Amino acid sequence: MTDKPTVPSAGLRRDMEILEVLAGHGDGRDADGFGVSWIAQRLGREKSQVSRALRALELEGMVERDPITRRYRLGWRLFALAARTQHARLVQVAAPYLRGLATAFDEDAYLCVLRGNLVLTLMSVPSSRVYHRVWEGVSVPLLMAAAGRSLVADWDDQRIRELLRVTTLPSGLDSAVSGTEEWLADLAHVRSCGYAVTEVELEDSKAGVSAPVRDHRGLITAAISMSVTRAHTAARLHEIGAAVGEAARQLSISLGLVPDGRPIMSPTEGSL
Amino acid sequence: MTDKPTVPSAGLRRDMEILEVLAGHGDGRDADGFGVSWIAQRLGREKSQVSRALRALELEGMVERDPITRRYRLGWRLFALAARTQHARLVQVAAPYLRGLATAFDEDAYLCVLRGNLVLTLMSVPSSRVYHRVWEGVSVPLLMAAAGRSLVADWDDQRIRELLRVTTLPSGLDSAVSGTEEWLADLAHVRSCGYAVTEVELEDSKAGVSAPVRDHRGLITAAISMSVTRAHTAARLHEIGAAVGEAARQLSISLGLVPDGRPIMSPTEGSL
DNA sequence: AAAACTAGGTGCGACTAGCGCAACAGTAGT
DNA sequence: ACTACTGTTGCGCTAGTCGCACCTAGTTTT
């Protein structure tokens, strides 16, 4: 099948699958870890293999085991490594801005980055409302997230068209995706006004606003976004949008962007 | 030699060593990653081996490569895995600490997080006393809870002022809220001593102590708090406060916080 | 109580993944 | 051009590890 050149991927792939299972789905309250057999069955692998792999991972601190329930969960080492990621650094800088937005408007605020054609949420600051879905660490299709428009704002038209052509969405979500030309117009709006507004966000009854965050080279490396209850008027949406745009601009400056000039380099590279 | 039981640790160990080097940099600001040869030499391994391993790790998203400098850094996947598990892990790991505090002082112990401008209690461990009000899942205004001070301890003064200005309290509870300047002084105390003390808690006849819990990114994600019967002397309040602070610190480390800003590994460290 | 069931761990042979060498390919400095 | 790097790759041989089967230990059933 996967006709690979000789890269040692077999063991690693297995370990990653295990870690992915242990991370859970983010939403499910699968709180207190998973047992060997369950994981093995879920992955369609031998119990023995999973058992041994988990022990090895435990030795390295990537997972830890509850001594009484014998269930595994992700370990301190993984978190320590994650903390040294550039994403972690970004989150630390961005945190105050997100908090400011969340408290100012009492709506959920997010920090997202682009990964392939998916939008990965790095951080979410919840509002005070009761129902709060955790999106941190979860990737969603680019077209579904409000942050998407901001993250690709610098792409040239051709690449956008390609993206829209290629992407397939879960059925029934087409309503969230407007036509190609509308998208291009939206991106122009982002570039000029500094923020994007989308009528439909991840959940129904939510609209979204977002704004691009640029690094010191002027490349878009992240986006701040907020999902706003639809009850709000369009005017308020734009009020929030302006605030989000301003926050993103401030954050960009914190990341080393020189404020005034437009040192925007050719967006051939989007990889963070 | 090392008499190993048959666990698949060879490849994993190598991968972990690589990740550790990439995270590494105990001291220097080596910002933009490391090259293959440098890593290989550092680990005393074959270049080819490191090259292939890194490519495999990159496929899994554990590391990222700067396309122009060809240097590797830790990847998004690590962050995503950690981020998704945070909340589940928080409750799981915090439980023993809360129980320890509750039994040590025979007072109720709580784990709280910030949601919008409200403090949400995720878990409560009752003391042995008869009357125990259940706060789990209940949100209270930030200003009313002892945990509030800890949860916003990292906010800058401006945002605190904004918060105090915006927040409106149920009437008759102003006694719990001291002046703005007093609040700022309190937060300074939290930052320096590691715990907060409030004279009035949710219920009358209760005082509160709390301490911030930081996740692997160093951000305050939760707070441990205890409500203490007012009968106790101020001295005891601070005794408990110190214990709560220490528990919060331990919990933070369990969550992957790298203690202090201290480089734990020097470049000459010998875990090779 | 024994039996039945489950959940995790282990011994060992067979087999293949991937290590190490060495040659190769880019890039930069002289 | 040559030299000195960097990172990649082809390939034979070896050791790491996969999978089966068999255990042990805990829990429920009869």
What three-state secondary structure class fits B69? coil
Q: Are the beta carbons of B229 and B206 closer than 8 angstroms?
A: yes
Looking at residue A245, its pLDDT comes to 94
The 10 Å Cβ neighbour count of residue B85 is 23
Element (H, E) at B74: strand B72-74
pLDDT at A249 over 90: yes
- Dihedral over alpha carbons A249, A254, A255, A258 (to 10 degrees): 70
Higher pLDDT, A262 or B47: B47
DSSP B107: S
A165: left (phi over 0), alpha (psi -120 to 50) or beta: alpha
pLDDT at A2 over 60: no
Q: Given pLDDT bands bounded at 50, 70 and 90, which one contains residue A180?
A: confident
Looking at residue A210, its pLDDT comes to 93
CA angle B131, B132, B138 (to 5 degrees): 145
pLDDT at A235 over 60: yes
What three-state secondary structure class fits A222? strand
Domain B10-74: CATH class, spelled out: mainly alpha
Looking at residue B30, its pLDDT comes to 56
Token pair belonging to B156? 């800058």
- Rounded CA gap, B153 and B148, in Å? 8
Among A36-50, A224-238, B175-189, the minimum mean pLDDT is found in B175-189
Looking at residue B134, its pLDDT comes to 64
pTM of the model as a whole:
0.82
Bridge pairing between strands A206-214 and A220-229:
antiparallel
A125: left (phi over 0), alpha (psi -120 to 50) or beta: beta
Beta bridge partners of B73: B64
Looking at residue B167, its pLDDT comes to 66
Backbone φ and ψ of A197, nearest 5°: -125, 130
pLDDT at A212 over 90: yes
Which nt has its C1' nearest the CA of A8? C18
Element (H, E) at B115: strand B108-115
| Closest listed residue to residue A64, CA positions, set A51, A77, A52 | A77
Tell me the average pLDDT across A161-184. 68
**Widest pairwise Cα distance in chain A:** 60
* Nearest CB to A23 within list B20, B81, B218: B81
Distance A52 CA to C9 C1' (A): 9
| Closest listed residue to residue A121, CA positions, set A138, A134, A107, A106 | A138
The answer to whether the CB atoms of B81 and A96 lie below 8 A apart is no
Looking at residue A264, its pLDDT comes to 43
The answer to whether the CB atoms of B53 and A134 lie below 8 A apart is no
Indicate the average pLDDT of chain A: 81
Tell me the average pLDDT across A165-174. 61
* Nearest CB to B159 within list A8, A79, A96: A96
Which of these CATH numbers, 3.30.450.40, 3.40.640.10, 3.40.50.970, 3.40.190.10, describes A85-254?
3.30.450.40
Looking at residue A213, its pLDDT comes to 95
The answer to whether the CB atoms of A96 and B217 lie below 8 A apart is no
Beta bridge partners of B109: B125, B226
The answer to whether the CB atoms of A78 and B80 lie below 8 A apart is no
What three-state secondary structure class fits B112? strand
- Rounded CA gap, A215 and A89, in Å? 13
The domain spans of chain A are 10-81, 85-254
Percentage of chain A with pLDDT > 90?
Answer: 21
Higher pLDDT, A202 or A146: A146
Topology adopted by domain A10-81? Arc Repressor Mutant, subunit A (1.10.10)
Per DSSP, which regions of chain A are E strands? 63-65, 72-74, 108-115, 118-125, 139-141, 196-198, 206-214, 220-229
Looking at residue B136, its pLDDT comes to 67
- Weakly modelled stretches of chain B, pLDDT under 70: 1-8, 25-31, 129-137, 167-178, 200-205, 232, 259-272
Looking at residue A94, its pLDDT comes to 93
- Rounded CA gap, A70 and B189, in Å? 41
Does CATH number 1.20.960.40 belong to domain B83-254? no
Which residues from chain A sit within 8 angstroms of residue B23, using beta carbons? 80-81, 84
Q: Which residue type is seen at A216?
A: H
Higher pLDDT, A200 or B256: B256
Looking at residue A170, its pLDDT comes to 55
Q: Which residue has the tokens 């792409």?
A: A155
Higher pLDDT, A234 or B46: B46
Distance B8 CA to C22 C1' (A): 28
pLDDT at A91 over 70: yes
Q: Does residue B35 reach within 7 angstroms of strand D, measured from its CB?
A: yes
- Rounded CA gap, A64 and A71, in Å? 8
pLDDT at A114 over 90: yes
pLDDT at A178 over 70: no
What three-state secondary structure class fits A125? strand
Q: Are the beta carbons of A137 and B82 closer than 8 angstroms?
A: yes
Higher pLDDT, A54 or A67: A54
Read out DSSP for A169-219? --TT-GGG---HHHHHHHHHHHHHHS-EEES--SSTTEEEEEEEEE-TTS-
- Rounded CA gap, A153 and A122, in Å? 19
Looking at residue B79, its pLDDT comes to 92
Which nt has its C1' nearest the CA of B6? D17
Tell me the average pLDDT across A93-112. 90
pLDDT at A174 over 90: no
